[in-house]
């Protein structure tokens, strides 16, 4: 995995209401290319605002943003260039899907990149197949279920082949099957070399999936580290109203009782924990 910094924020300030309150309050962070990153924090801690700043939709009042070492510029051409590389999947698909036809919807972004129609057609077909949209591709957007809309809104972005994808609470209001599908899509993105940032409240998922976890609090980064570091830091979790992941808690409880070996690397998901329990010598 390369160590190149793909996205860097340096002391960002952003306020929606002319400096009465700050949604971003001196936020600084660095994202390395190809990483899987979970952004966590209470509602209103600045995750979505940060995402909008990353695509240049919002311009921070103070501070600087860098994409691959190059500072953000806000003229039209630079913005279009930036947005072709930074994709964002919004939390509510109804705010993102504007076409009644699924096919037209997906074609919008890639045509904006100036790709010729013939090639765009192929790309759209590919992504429809890849994300299993075929069964409902001929239905109008208003007849789709929440999960199907989410699939389309991810396809919208994937078809543009961005280098980094920001997903704002992708699992919100989805049924378990669609959460699984979204998680698979995220894994596919990582395999394709795309850097993925997910804003999420699901500690268990973040613990098992992420390479790095960033805790946001009141527009600032409270803690940035590996999932184990972050989720073992009880005071930081308490400050951001998060619970530790169940697997980690259980592992630590078992280790304290001497049932499991506490010096080994803690398991990151349920199957790993089960294996650890099955492999221990027993009474």
Partner 1 sequence: MIAIDQLCYHSKLRYENPGEKFAFAGITLCICVISRTIEVSSVVLAAAGILTVWKGGVPVSRYLRFLTVPLAFLLLSSLAIFLRVKEAPLDLFALPLGRWYLTASRDSLAYVARLVFTAMGSVSCLYFLSFTTPMPDLLEVLARLHCPALLRELMLLIYRFIFILLRTASAIATSQRCRLGNKDYRTSLKSFGLLGSALMIRAVARSGRLYDAMEARCYDGRIRVLSESRPPRKSVIAWIAVFDTALFFFALWRKFCG
**Chain contacts with partner 1 (rule: CB under 8 A):** 52, 55, 57, 76, 80, 83-84, 87-88, 90, 92, 94-101, 103-105, 107-109, 111-113, 117, 120-121, 124, 138-143, 156-157, 160
For 159, which DSSP code? T
Residue 195 Cβ vs partner 1, minimum distance, rounded to whole Å? 16
Q: Which CB sits closer to partner 1, 139 or 233?
A: 139
Q: Which CB sits closer to partner 1, 144 or 242?
A: 144
Residue 95 Cβ vs partner 1, minimum distance, rounded to whole Å? 4
Residue 221 Cβ vs partner 1, minimum distance, rounded to whole Å? 23
- What value, to the nearest 5°, has the Cα angle with vertex 121 and ends 117 and 122? 125
Q: Which CB sits closer to partner 1, 105 or 218?
A: 105
Spell out the alpha helix ranges (H) of the chain.
Answer: 47-54, 76-85, 102-112, 117-130, 146-158, 176-191, 203-209, 227-232, 234-239, 246-256, 270-279
Residue 103, classed as helix, strand or coil, is helix
Residue 241 Cβ vs partner 1, minimum distance, rounded to whole Å? 26
How far is 64 from 152, CA to CA, in rounded Å? 32
How far is 97 from 141, CA to CA, in rounded Å? 8
For 281, counting Cβ atoms within 10 Å of its Cβ (0-12 exposed, 13-18 middle, 19+ buried), the class is: exposed
Start-to-end CA distance of the chain, whole Å, equals 42
Q: Which CB sits closer to partner 1, 73 or 274?
A: 73
Rg (the chain; Cα; Å): 20
Residue 80 Cβ vs partner 1, minimum distance, rounded to whole Å? 5
For 197, counting Cβ atoms within 10 Å of its Cβ (0-12 exposed, 13-18 middle, 19+ buried), the class is: buried
Residue 271 Cβ vs partner 1, minimum distance, rounded to whole Å? 36
The structure tokens listed for 234 are: 């009880």
Tell me the β-bridge partners of 199: 39, 168
Q: Which CB sits closer to partner 1, 162 or 245?
A: 162
Q: Which CB sits closer to partner 1, 57 or 253?
A: 57
Residue 142, classed as helix, strand or coil, is helix
Q: Which CB sits closer to partner 1, 4 or 112?
A: 112
Residue 99 Cβ vs partner 1, minimum distance, rounded to whole Å? 6
How far is 182 from 178, CA to CA, in rounded Å? 6
């Amino acid at each position: 995995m390369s160590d190149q910094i793909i996205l860097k924020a340096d002391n960002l300030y952003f306020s929606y209401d002319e400096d009465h309150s700050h949604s971003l309050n001196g936020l600084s962070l660095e994202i390395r290319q190809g990483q899987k990153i979970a952004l966590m924090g209470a509602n209103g801690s600045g995750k979505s605002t940060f995402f909008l700043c990353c695509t240049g939709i919002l311009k921070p009042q103070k501070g600087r943003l860098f994409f691959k070492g190059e500072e953000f510029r806000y003229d039209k051409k630079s913005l279009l260039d930036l947005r072709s590389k930074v994709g964002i999947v919004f939390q509510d698909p109804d705010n993102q899907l504007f076409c009644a036809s699924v096919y037209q919807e997906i074609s919008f972004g890639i045509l904006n990149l100036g790709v010729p129609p013939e090639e765009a057609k192929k790309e759209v077909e590919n992504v429809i197949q890849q994300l299993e949209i075929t069964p409902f591709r001929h239905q109008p957007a208003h007849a789709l279920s929440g999960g199907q809309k989410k699939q389309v809104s991810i396809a919208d972005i994937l078809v543009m082949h961005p280098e980094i994808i920001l997903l704002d609470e992708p699992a919100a209001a989805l049924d378990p099957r669609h959460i699984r599908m979204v998680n698979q899509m995220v894994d596919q993105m990582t395999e394709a070399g795309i850097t993925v940032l997910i804003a999420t409240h699901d500690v268990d998922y973040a613990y098992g999936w992420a390479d790095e976890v960033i805790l946001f609090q009141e527009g600032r980064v409270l803690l940035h580290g590996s999932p184990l570091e972050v989720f073992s830091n009880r005071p930081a979790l308490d400050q951001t109203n998060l619970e530790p992941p169940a697997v980690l808690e259980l592992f630590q409880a078992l280790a304290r009782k001497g049932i499991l070996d506490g010096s080994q690397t803690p398991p990151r998901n349920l199957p790993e924990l089960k294996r650890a329990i099955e492999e221990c010598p027993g009474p």
